[in-house]
Structure 1
């Protein structure tokens, strides 16, 4: 395999070498390919990316030093039309032959496809960047502007195009900068014509972005212009615009200081052909009219229903379907208050989050009854969405559980179900699949032998639904919602088979575009295993290890089938009981073997027991990503969860029964009790030229206590898979250095770190190099295996390292991802023998995923 890899690498390098010789083959005589830009400040080269970004021309993008996109572009024929004309259209023999072979229409399509393919090569590749003196001069001027805007008013710039003597038709451009002494802001004066604006400015001038003694920066002045515009428009100045703000900067004989004057003129007032200026005034909202069922079709019809509520006027063309408080609660524009842009934007946002209306229309008109021309009437036009919405989905899938599966589902959304802007959603889902390892007996050899069905109910209120007022600490501009949900699902012939019941009381609110909060006041989950006796058929690794021990020691032969293997489940369970209880039916077993049997038994007990989880959790999410295409952002998530504390507090008072282990039970199930926390941080950095560096750090731990000595499987951590450590399959990594001996390896502590460098290859095809670091461990729970537990910081040596590369194709609405991960540091191996031992394609893990892993 090593020889094959070396041959592939040699072949790749040879191709790169051949291609690199042809980078300039499309250039005409006298043209130079731009290979590098260098910027010097007083003769010393600088590397500031902000300055280099001012240049109009950048060299062709490179991968490992090779301009692959340029080479791909050069594969296109520059005169394809002439070539096709000569070779096919003017060549009668070839044209007649192809026409007879393909038909005239197919021949024309063939000619067109050649042109189309040639054009695709051009658009996918990258045209050579040819040194252009005009563009270079523009870059020189732009550099001068950048330095000027950052306070170097006396900057001098120059440039030189330097041909490369050792490479034909190639050149670099060097730019030479002499910034000289920068200017600093000194005095700041104002000339504000309108008294109302002057008063507002004086009240908030401490917040100014322009500071005395700071080096001049044009961005500070732009920021101050934005600040003042927002300040005035959020404090009643309805007709204010940024164009009224200007700055006068005096630098004459000031010893490199800038004396600044802020100038805000009065508002222009056009009367006929004459223009006068009048002072800005503070505007007040006199009325708020809300039309709750406006459509373009009924715009000229009379309004037939109306009501007043807390100063709001609500109207309807038909009988109003909404309680007045439900609509007014979503409107932040209040009668009697001054005009504010912020109130308008919050109203837009809140009305949209209700999912009841199309995008609302908010209009302001002068109040004709006001002689001072300062009162405004607000008209809000709401167009309802249909009361009922149906949705359906269908998918085909394949997984390690089923060879072939069909999933289907549907949902019904009922808007404004109680008239208070509440939404009620009913959804159902189901799937059928084919599996050769189904849990049940399939004597009829049915193709679809496994299935799953489920249903969910969800009721959402546009407020925090609590018996006390939450407006003081969660005001309505934070878009608060309360959701009550119930869910049920059942699986048949899948693993142990399960019934799952869940109930959630959830609150969520968003103080800003970046910050969101979620509180599950009550998150109840009940999991019932329907086919626990199938455990050793599902978890074959545990069975084989147990069977091997049973065959190595003196074991009661009644535990075995005629082939000498432990009978499932009777023989396997009986062997475990004989070892644990020392019944005399097993002899000759040593301490290590006995401990392995105990470990298998404890894992079996935990994974076959029913779970009852009464939890409360809170999630804090900070995300600076502005939209789907934002390439530079940060995301921080913190979650804390506790379970079982309420039940534990009332267990004595409610006289709950106890099982043989002394744990309290509710409805015959020992409830879980634990504390769990997770911290997740993601950072994406845009390096320019479609190059992204992405990093993630994750840490989580769940500690059982009180009524439990382990964490439910549904709340534990796992490692590996296409979104984690890609050198291992999901659930194959860890815990610790145990080597993933079980089918589904999980634990109650996890550390994970991921680094990824993403870059563009051609068009929509991207690639990446990545390094994944992490593992899972057991801490303070029922597991005692030293290889699986985290006992001290020295166990950090068992952190696994995977690395690799991948391809990603961007379909705009989703990304199809293919990654190859190699085991770089494998903690399952002996110390000193862990680095690069299986670093080859034979032991690689191939991952297919949708969208980026983080």
Structure 2
């Protein structure tokens, strides 16, 4: 008891000392007349605006303040701490210089703050939002010894609204076209005046005109005048083409000839001379002296056509599709007037091929709290233009080993070696026609592979897989993958007497020894807008449907309740339906932090020719990308205790149903170092009772069987990869007795034995989700 109290006091003292060290270091290196700038605050003072509107305005104005104070984390300023720790520049060394420049940041001083300038910026932004009468006052805030911030009080007048939008109509075709498009304007009567909305409308109309052939028109040629003398806090808007708009911009243009340089190099100087070697293919004149590409690839990529009006959407679509082929390093486009009288344009495409062949070698090391230490070697060879039609051929060879250095699995090592080949065509190969107006070329992919896996002292598995399917993207956010045919054959070999001894009478272990034949279609849909980093709310969703043996089982009348298993090539085939869903929500709190929520669930139902899901198709939980407080594949199902096995090894736990939830707070600390705090929860269950997994069947009380863990981690973002270190510990253990599942009261960070049994260390590459 005394030791425990001593450890607790020591931990408290250590934390307090670190906090004091960080806090004091922020000002103790300042000169007497220097003051640390700590914060800038914006407050909207108005009785007319709602609380929500004021909060939204404050959130918009806050990032405009300059300078930005030294960043804080848990009340401390780590960048400033490391800058001060590096010491005097005159006593510089390699380590000190690296610490100061990479980890540190010099103190932001109050003398650098220009309150008048900030006030004018705030007032200008408010006026751009329609608050034309606005007052801004500023005052300093005393934050302690040699620390000071600034508070800005913004008092807006009543916001101006749009009274009327008039599209001037005269005899010029372009002005008439703009007037006809006025019905779709986003500048609506009664909406707030916004300078950003007006700018966006000019850009929108510019795009609208370019899709009607007006290649030389610019958003700067469109004028939207504002009349604020209407009264009653309203404005009138007048939309018209500027009087000094160039003649070129006032006429629509059609496409004349289309030239394609398939092997363009920056050093090429005689482009006109190369035209003599061009050959015609449909609407295109192709210059490809070395015959590197089949011209048919341009049918599916270039959407501009001879004799049609120039269209910006088709222009951009063509460029995006050429890039998405993956065979060109650079794609450049140019339009030249070929007939100024009849308003015609020649289109030129300059395509610089990428190196068609590449080889990649990857060596990975890994370790975790399950006492596994291992490595994996991958060799991948690519040919991006295998048959001169932008076909991607890939061949890979991989091998790996995981060694158990301690615990009950010591000596039960895992070795694997495998190979995989795939061929991807930049088109959909079907008996029917497949049309896609997406910026991404739809593809057909065929894959074949084999793998040999050996679990020392237990068994080995030889597997074969093959698939044929399609990949297409609607846009940058929505992606589909449909495998019409997917087969997976698994055969166990070299099963030891030791494994047979423990597997006898245990259905879950016996199932590993069954030959598996899985075939059928799969479909995956992915939606994500996480690439839009400026957005506060972003999402990721991945849904999967997996069918096996459904039509075959129906034709063969497979039904285990009425007879024996039906075989294909002497092997019982699996029959099931499985679905899995992964939803993630990213909330951007500020420039350096975000909150990530994840819901992951799935269920599989075996029927007809199968009583259980194939072992390779079942769900697992725990580990570095799941519930990090529990070892990988050792949790569940339900309240089943994996430690109840009286065996020399710990078998993997699997089940028919998965439910998992994660919450993670991420914060950039300094330089490449990011921190995280997280909570994980979830479990797996069987749909039916399994004899050797008592308590694993799903029930109405499933929520009482949820495992919960928490922890903290560091991420090192090195641009091309992220190294992740996570430490986690359990808060709720489902296989404990019903009154003892919460283990929060047992947490003892200072106890060595508790840390050994409960503190899980996970080392991984990439974010967990």
* TM-score above 0.5, yes or no: yes
| Aligned mate of 2:721, from 810, 814, 819 | 814
Counterpart of 1:171 in structure 2 is 148
Alignment pair present for 1:849 and 2:751:
no
Counterpart of 2:574 in structure 1 is 672
Alignment pair present for 1:768 and 2:676:
yes
| Aligned mate of 1:328, from 277, 280, 299 | 299
Q: 1:629 to 1:688 in 2, by over 3 A?
A: closer
| Distance (whole Å) between structure 1 residues aligned to residue 240 and residue 563 of structure 2 | 80
Alignment pair present for 1:284 and 2:186:
no
RMSD over aligned CA atoms reads: 3.1
C-alpha contact 2:384 2:390 (8 A) present in aligned 1: no
Alignment pair present for 1:356 and 2:327:
yes
1:699-778 equivalent positions in 2, closer than 5 A: 699-741=601-643, 742-778=650-686
Alignment pair present for 1:342 and 2:313:
yes
Alignment pair present for 1:636 and 2:541:
yes
| Distance (whole Å) between structure 1 residues aligned to residue 206 and residue 735 of structure 2 | 62
1:288-299 equivalent positions in 2, closer than 5 A: 288-296=258-266, 299=269
| Distance (whole Å) between structure 2 residues aligned to residue 74 and residue 481 of structure 1 | 56
The range that moved more, 771-780 or 118-127, is 118-127
Alignment pair present for 1:14 and 2:17:
yes
| Distance (whole Å) between structure 1 residues aligned to residue 584 and residue 559 of structure 2 | 46
1:192-341 equivalent positions in 2, closer than 5 A: 195-265=172-242, 268-269=245-246, 277=247, 280-296=250-266, 299-300=269-270, 302=274, 306-318=278-290, 320-341=291-312
Counterpart of 1:545 in structure 2 is none
| Distance (whole Å) between structure 1 residues aligned to residue 682 and residue 250 of structure 2 | 61
| Aligned mate of 1:621, from 513, 526, 536 | 526
1:602-617 equivalent positions in 2, closer than 5 A: 602-617=507-522
| Distance (whole Å) between structure 2 residues aligned to residue 308 and residue 466 of structure 1 | 28
| Distance (whole Å) between structure 1 residues aligned to residue 416 and residue 534 of structure 2 | 36
Ranked by relative contact order (alpha carbons within 8 Å, sequence separation 6 or more), the top structure is 2
C-alpha contact 1:267 1:278 (8 A) present in aligned 2: no
Q: 1:194 to 1:120 in 2, by over 3 A?
A: farther
1:685-700 equivalent positions in 2, closer than 5 A: 685-700=587-602
The range that moved more, 835-844 or 455-464, is 835-844
Alignment pair present for 1:421 and 2:404:
no
Counterpart of 1:645 in structure 2 is 550
SS at match of 1:382: strand
C-alpha contact 1:822 1:840 (8 A) present in aligned 2: no
Name which one, 1 or 2, has greater alpha-carbon Rg.
1
| Distance (whole Å) between structure 1 residues aligned to residue 14 and residue 444 of structure 2 | 61
C-alpha contact 2:103 2:670 (8 A) present in aligned 1: yes
Q: Deviations over 1:94-146 (max 9, x none)?
A: xxxxxxxxxxxxxxxxxx526x6156236523333322475222221121122
SS at match of 2:181: helix
C-alpha contact 1:807 1:817 (8 A) present in aligned 2: yes
Counterpart of 1:528 in structure 2 is 491
Counterpart of 1:579 in structure 2 is none
| Distance (whole Å) between structure 1 residues aligned to residue 746 and residue 579 of structure 2 | 34
SS at match of 1:358: strand
Counterpart of 2:647 in structure 1 is none
Give how far 1:478 is off: 4.3
| Distance (whole Å) between structure 2 residues aligned to residue 449 and residue 53 of structure 1 | 54
Give how far 1:259 is off: 0.6
Give how far 1:527 is off: 0.7
| Distance (whole Å) between structure 1 residues aligned to residue 491 and residue 200 of structure 2 | 59
Q: What TM-score, normalized by structure 2, do the two folds share?
A: 0.88
The range that moved more, 116-125 or 461-470, is 116-125
The range that moved more, 12-21 or 811-820, is 12-21
C-alpha contact 1:193 1:266 (8 A) present in aligned 2: no
C-alpha contact 1:57 1:136 (8 A) present in aligned 2: no
1:371-520 equivalent positions in 2, closer than 5 A: 371-372=341-342, 374-395=343-364, 405=375, 407-413=377-383, 415-417=385-387, 419-431=388-400, 452-471=416-435, 474-475=436-437, 477-492=439-454, 494=456, 495-520=458-483
| Distance (whole Å) between structure 2 residues aligned to residue 380 and residue 24 of structure 1 | 60
| Distance (whole Å) between structure 1 residues aligned to residue 97 and residue 440 of structure 2 | 54
Q: 1:280 to 1:30 in 2, by over 3 A?
A: same
The range that moved more, 692-701 or 244-253, is 244-253
C-alpha contact 2:623 2:632 (8 A) present in aligned 1: yes
Counterpart of 1:113 in structure 2 is 93
| Alignment size in residue pairs | 737
Q: 1:241 to 1:18 in 2, by over 3 A?
A: same
**Gap runs ≥5 in structure 2:** 644-649, 750-754
SS at match of 1:743: coil
Counterpart of 1:125 in structure 2 is 104
| Distance (whole Å) between structure 1 residues aligned to residue 309 and residue 394 of structure 2 | 39
**Gap runs ≥5 in structure 1:** 85-111, 270-276, 443-447, 538-567, 577-596
Q: 1:31 to 1:421 in 2, by over 3 A?
A: closer
C-alpha contact 1:758 1:768 (8 A) present in aligned 2: yes
C-alpha contact 2:333 2:350 (8 A) present in aligned 1: yes
| Distance (whole Å) between structure 1 residues aligned to residue 564 and residue 249 of structure 2 | 80
The range that moved more, 488-497 or 807-816, is 488-497
SS at match of 1:317: coil
